[in-house]
Amino acid sequence: MRRILVTGGAGFIGSHLCERLLEYGFEVTCLDNFFTGAKKNIIHLLDHPYFELVRHDIIMPYFMEVDEIYNLACPASPEHYQFNAIKTIKTSVMGTIHMLGLAKRVHAKILQASTSEIYGDPQVHPQTEEYWGHVNPIGIRSCYDEGKRCAETLCMDYLRQNKVRVKIIRIFNTYGPRMNPDDGRVVSNFIVQALRGKELTVYGDGSQTRSFQYIDDLLEGMMRMMGTKDDVAGPVNIGNPREFTIKELAELVLEMTGSKSKITYKPLPQDDPIQRQPDISLANRLLDDWKPMITLEEGLQKTIEYFKETIKK
Ligand code: NAD
Ligand code: UDP
């Protein structure tokens, strides 16, 4: 049976991934320091005979015999990754070194959860993997953007120097049930604000764009990437190319929740990217015709249901 380590496994994406891997019959170890993740995300898995939970911080080395590593540990929302910026860089850089070191030692494959933030505030649209990006190295988002860029560098150097089998995916804005309602990301913010009858906080004039991917589409892309031949390292964009302005998203959430909330405008945070849309032709070619299957309307419906239940509790 394949043994799989998921770092950041108690977070939003990690908890869904652990669940999916167990469904496929793998043995899963979830490692997390619970900074932004929570036990409640994986509590339903604790009795599973092939699930194991380890409280550990990846800025410290970790050793176990394992066949595959999904390296997801890292706070992902601007609010949380800026809360302790130095820790965020340590997680991306030292944490990734430790996971790559482990992969090297036990001959495991490793998938790195990289991000569309690699492209910064992109001047090429839509973003292809060849684009090197437009990132401010000293701004408030840099701890995350540059940390993740360095993590990609490390992956490629471990591949070139030590022949570690690395797989890099660049994840574009992903949403779904189990997002942390307090982490400040736009989809969770708007839904929770709408359900509570509070004003929806649009930053700037709301004309900036994002392309939103539902969690199930990401999981499919991620697992297919792990299953590619050893000579496929990426990076590969995984996202939904349908692009929306933030104002359109706010209006859609209001319509779908039937909320009477109003929209209020707040200042745009520093270095907030103006546009973002993945070119997914590489993913489509390498990952057996992978493409997102779930529309924003379908995904939002499921996410709204989840937050309704959470708020009730
Ligand atoms: P999340 O905050 O819900 O999950 C991150 C998890 O990592 C949490 O459980 C947290 O406690 C854990 N963690 C953080 N630092 C750690 C450390 N030093 N040691 C051990 N565990 C640690 O965020 P998410 O949305 O699930 O993101 C998961 C990964 O995917 C992150 O690496 C993120 O950068 C990447 N990603 C996510 C998105 C997205 O839209 N959700 C987009 C691009 C990339
Ligand atoms: N945003 C917003 N209101 C909010 C939260 C976010 O208008 O309450 C905007 C934010 O400025 C950005 C976009 O929504 O332009 C996506 O923000 P998020 O933090 O979800 O992700 P990221 O900026 O990392 O793509």
Report the CATH number that the domain containing residue 119 is assigned in CATH.
3.40.50.720
Instruction: List beta partners, residue 109.
Output: 68
On whether residue 110 sits in a domain, the answer given is yes
Encode pLDDT of 234-291 as tens digits: 999 999 999 999 999 999 999 999 999 999 999 999 999 999 999 999 999 999 999 9
On whether residue 258 sits in a domain, the answer given is no
Pocket of ligand 2, candidates 83, 185, 240: which has the most ligand atoms within 8 Å of its Cβ, to mutate? 185
Contact 118 CB / ligand 2 (< 6 Å): no
Alpha carbon 144 to its chain's center: 12
Check whether 165 has a pLDDT greater than 90: yes
- Nearest ligand to the C-alpha atom of residue 57: 1
Q: Range of 79's domain?
A: 3-173+214-239+277-293
On whether residue 95 sits in a domain, the answer given is yes
| pTM score, whole prediction | 0.97
On whether residue 105 sits in a domain, the answer given is yes
Report the distance separating Cα 48 and Cα 174, nearest Å: 27
On whether residue 182 sits in a domain, the answer given is no
On whether residue 125 sits in a domain, the answer given is yes
Furthest-apart CA atoms within the chain: distance in Å: 58
Encode pLDDT of 283-308 as tens digits: 999 999 999 999 999 999 999 999 99
Check whether 36 has a pLDDT greater than 90: yes
- Nearest ligand to the C-alpha atom of residue 188: 2
Contact 233 CB / ligand 1 (< 6 Å): no
Encode pLDDT of 64-80 as tens digits: 999 999 999 999 999 99
On whether residue 183 sits in a domain, the answer given is no
pLDDT at position 313 is 80
Phi-psi region of 251 (alpha: psi -120 to 50; beta: other; left: phi over 0): alpha
Question: Average model confidence (pLDDT) for the chain?
Answer: 97
Give the model's confidence band at 211: pLDDT under 50 very low, under 70 low, under 90 confident, else very high: very high
Contact 164 CB / ligand 1 (< 6 Å): no
Confirm whether 158 is a catalytic residue: no
Phi-psi region of 229 (alpha: psi -120 to 50; beta: other; left: phi over 0): beta
Residue nearest to atom 14 of ligand 2 (CA): 186
What's the domain count of the chain? 1
On whether residue 251 sits in a domain, the answer given is no
Give the model's confidence band at 1: pLDDT under 50 very low, under 70 low, under 90 confident, else very high: confident
